[in-house]
Chains A and B, each alone.
Chain A
Amino acid sequence: MKAPFSLRNIVTALVVAGLVLLPLYSSLSGNVFVLTLFTRIIILALAAASLNLMMGYGGMMSFGHAAYLGIGGYAVGMLAQEGIGSGFVQFPVALAASALYALVIGALSLRTRGVYFIMITLAFAQMAYYVASGLARYGGDDGLTVYKRSDFAGLINLSNRVQFYYLCLACLLGVIFLIWRIVNSRFGLVVQGLRSNEQRMQAIGFPAKRYQLVCFVIAGTMCGLAGALLANNTDFISPAVMYWTRSGDLMVMVILGGMGTLFGPVIGAVAYLVLEEMLSRVTEYWAMIMGPLLLLIVLFGRGGIMGLLGRFERG
């Protein structure tokens, strides 16, 4: 990020500008669908950005990140079901529930390393999936319809497509700004040091687990926000959003865009979901094209799209 006009920065600026101007295009062209699609993309980009904080900067390969999407979503859905429609209650509860879950799961998972860490985070997320499937009162397997979107007392109307879109975009950019500050703070440097060489960090006096756990909780809380937005976007929440393949999707977005880069997850989410959308129109066997494509990028484009852009420039 040294040169302000590097290829990476130009592409990032273009993508962000495109996202900001999208509602304009949508209203001028009358294409409502594109707005709906990109609202979803932005929400999942937010989830991917939070995973990137943990995975890209913190080196913790969580394979259960979609659990927070579900927890944030269910917090909104369950409160709405019980007649508490205020967003000022729903969103804080969604964040707090995600943080608490992350604290418990993180404390247990961080006793392990490497493949075991991946497996244990996966196992906990699957547990959350089955718990949600068993919630008969809240729709169980079939999921839960959210009849009314979070109510922010007239401050912002989530049922208005454009307002909701900008709320999601503001959340995404806000979270990325936060991650940017964190990554360059004392805490961020410690977490990245732990990714690089944990033993060394212990030797110079850092209690590794404490810092990793806090990073785990921050990432989980951020993803809980994405979950709360997701439930509002689809007016529906079901156990399926926590399924392990969804955690895999998030990982793919991060890796595709470029791990450990600020805007990589956003670029990854846009590329992945737009590609999915386009390919699924051509053939219902879109996954057969998508799979090899991802393989190629992972095999030959180390550092994802951001890495490719950087290398392309250096020649």
Chain B
Amino acid sequence: MADPLLRVEKLVRRFGGILATDHVSLDVAKGELHAIIGPNGAGKTTLISQLTGHLAPHSGSVFLGGRDITGLPAYRRSALGLARSFQITSLLPDFTAADNVALAAQAHHGHSFRFWANVRKEKALRDAAQAALNRVGLGGRADVLVSRLSHGEQRELELAVALATRPQLLLLDEPMAGLGVTESARMVKLLQELRREVTIVLVEHDMAAVFALADRISVLVYGRVIASGAPADIRQNDEVKRAYLGDQHVVVKHG
């Protein structure tokens, strides 16, 4: 394989005596949609947080496009093209949807030590925000306060915010969490479109969605990657079945 876009090498993170990330190694090729699955408490969010720089690993390295980013703070990684969505919706609740997205565009569009001109009249930022909102189907909700958006709309807005930073790599932490059946279907459809444009690492509990979307799947159990491969291989893998999929067998078959 050519140089992967994201390479994780022997990443270790402890919380007290617990190994939340146990020598995790992972390669994500450019253009791939790589899903990370695992039971509750497997350390998925811990892993994502180390990739985005919100949490420092105790050892190991993270490379983005061949560059070692292990020690970089979150905002620098964002500048290098890494974007994330949060498992628990994390937006600016007292801002409008458009402002949320425009800020993301602004972060990657010149510096923000400008104290005089009205930012809401910067056409480039407003246009970028509107484009990202349209992309996720929120075009008509631009001027609504985030706190007034439905949960499903907020999940979509999370995605628009991430997109507005023009990422190379999108880390999605359970984008389907808390969504109803129709909303989930919309999200899957949306991700299916996005994957053509951007490399995605997807952490998700919804197995149907994961097996429908992923090029490759890594299975995380107790902080360790116990298997990594194409969906068909993962489905056949005995260790995975034992550790994780056993009780969800039915879902997997349907997926």
List A contacts of B75 (CB < 8 A): 202-203, 205-208
Asked if B242 lies at the interface with its beta carbon under 8 angstroms from chain A, I say no
Separation in Å of the B157 CB from the closest CB of chain A? 11
Residue of A197, A205, A208 with most partner-chain B CB within 10 A: A205
- What bracket does the count of chain A residues touching chain B fall in? 20 to 34
Asked if B86 and A188 sit within 8 Å, CB to CB, the answer is no
Q: In the complex, which residue of chain A has the Cβ closest to the Cβ of B162? A: A204
Asked if B92 and A214 sit within 8 Å, CB to CB, the answer is no
Beyond A203-B78, A205-B107, whether A190 also contacts B112 by CB under 8 A is: yes
- Number of chain B residues whose Cβ lies closer than 8 Å to a Cβ of chain A: 37
Asked if A108 lies at the interface with its beta carbon under 8 angstroms from chain B, I say no
Separation in Å of the A196 CB from the closest CB of chain B? 4
Complex Cα–Cα for A16 and B29 (A): 62
Asked if A200 and B86 sit within 8 Å, CB to CB, the answer is yes
List A contacts of B119 (CB < 8 A): 184-186, 188-189
Beyond A196-B93, A196-B95, A197-B92, whether A188 also contacts B54 by CB under 8 A is: no
Complex Cα–Cα for A44 and B88 (A): 42
List A contacts of B90 (CB < 8 A): 197, 199-200, 203
Q: In the complex, which residue of chain A has the Cβ closest to the Cβ of B158? A: A200
Q: In the complex, which residue of chain A has the Cβ closest to the Cβ of B116? A: A181
Asked if A186 and B112 sit within 8 Å, CB to CB, the answer is yes
Asked if A182 lies at the interface with its beta carbon under 8 angstroms from chain B, I say yes
List A contacts of B106 (CB < 8 A): 186, 189-190
Separation in Å of the A213 CB from the closest CB of chain B? 11
Asked if B42 lies at the interface with its beta carbon under 8 angstroms from chain A, I say no
Separation in Å of the A197 CB from the closest CB of chain B? 5
Complex Cα–Cα for A211 and B113 (A): 8
Complex Cα–Cα for A197 and B91 (A): 7
The one of B52, B95, B108, B118 in contact with A203, judged by C-beta atoms closer than 8 angstroms, is B52
Asked if B94 and A185 sit within 8 Å, CB to CB, the answer is no
List B contacts of A196 (CB < 8 A): 92-95
A154-209 residues at the B interface, CB under 8 angstroms: 181-182, 184-190, 192-193, 196-197, 199-208
Q: In the complex, which residue of chain B has the Cβ closest to the Cβ of A201? A: B103
Asked if A184 and B112 sit within 8 Å, CB to CB, the answer is no
Complex Cα–Cα for A85 and B107 (A): 46
Asked if B118 and A205 sit within 8 Å, CB to CB, the answer is no
Complex Cα–Cα for A214 and B112 (A): 11
List A contacts of B102 (CB < 8 A): 189
Complex Cα–Cα for A301 and B172 (A): 40
List B contacts of A205 (CB < 8 A): 75, 78-79, 104, 107-108, 165
Asked if A204 and B113 sit within 8 Å, CB to CB, the answer is no
Type the 1/0 row for A211-255, where 1 means its CB is closer than 8 Å to any CB of B: 100100000000000000000000000000000000000000000
Beyond A193-B92, A197-B92, whether A204 also contacts B83 by CB under 8 A is: yes
Q: Number of A-B pairs whose CB atoms are under 8 Å?
A: 96
Q: In the complex, which residue of chain B has the Cβ closest to the Cβ of A190? A: B112
Asked if B73 and A202 sit within 8 Å, CB to CB, the answer is yes
Asked if A204 and B115 sit within 8 Å, CB to CB, the answer is no
List B contacts of A186 (CB < 8 A): 106, 112-115, 117, 119, 122
Asked if B114 and A185 sit within 8 Å, CB to CB, the answer is yes
Complex Cα–Cα for A205 and B112 (A): 11
Complex Cα–Cα for A211 and B106 (A): 14
Q: In the complex, which residue of chain B has the Cβ closest to the Cβ of A196? A: B92
The one of B54, B108, B112 in contact with A202, judged by C-beta atoms closer than 8 angstroms, is B54
Separation in Å of the A98 CB from the closest CB of chain B? 18
Asked if A185 and B115 sit within 8 Å, CB to CB, the answer is yes
Asked if B99 lies at the interface with its beta carbon under 8 angstroms from chain A, I say yes
Q: In the complex, which residue of chain A has the Cβ closest to the Cβ of B171? A: A203
Asked if B84 lies at the interface with its beta carbon under 8 angstroms from chain A, I say yes
List B contacts of A182 (CB < 8 A): 115-116
Separation in Å of the B165 CB from the closest CB of chain A? 6
Type the 1/0 row for B112-148, where 1 means its CB is closer than 8 Å to any CB of A: 1111111110100000000000000000000000000
List B contacts of A188 (CB < 8 A): 115, 119
Complex Cα–Cα for A193 and B99 (A): 9
Beyond A204-B103, A204-B165, A207-B73, whether A187 also contacts B91 by CB under 8 A is: no
List B contacts of A206 (CB < 8 A): 75, 103, 107, 112
Complex Cα–Cα for A83 and B119 (A): 46
Separation in Å of the B91 CB from the closest CB of chain A? 7
Asked if B94 and A203 sit within 8 Å, CB to CB, the answer is no
The one of B78, B79, B94, B113 in contact with A214, judged by C-beta atoms closer than 8 angstroms, is B113
Q: In the complex, which residue of chain B has the Cβ closest to the Cβ of A189? A: B119
The one of A184, A189, A199, A207 in contact with B103, judged by C-beta atoms closer than 8 angstroms, is A189
Separation in Å of the B176 CB from the closest CB of chain A? 19
10 closest residue pairs by CB, A with B: A205-B78, A205-B107, A196-B92, A202-B74, A204-B104, A186-B114, A186-B112, A186-B119, A207-B75, A190-B112
Beyond A182-B115, A186-B112, list 13 extra A-B contacts (CB 8 Å).
A181-B116, A185-B119, A186-B106, A186-B113, A186-B117, A187-B114, A188-B115, A189-B103, A196-B92, A200-B161, A203-B86, A205-B79, A206-B75
Spell out A's residues near B (CB within 8 Å).
181-182, 184-190, 192-193, 196-197, 199-208, 211, 214
- What are 9 A-to-B residue pairs whose CB atoms are below 8 Å? A182-B116, A185-B114, A185-B118, A189-B102, A189-B103, A199-B54, A200-B91, A202-B74, A208-B75
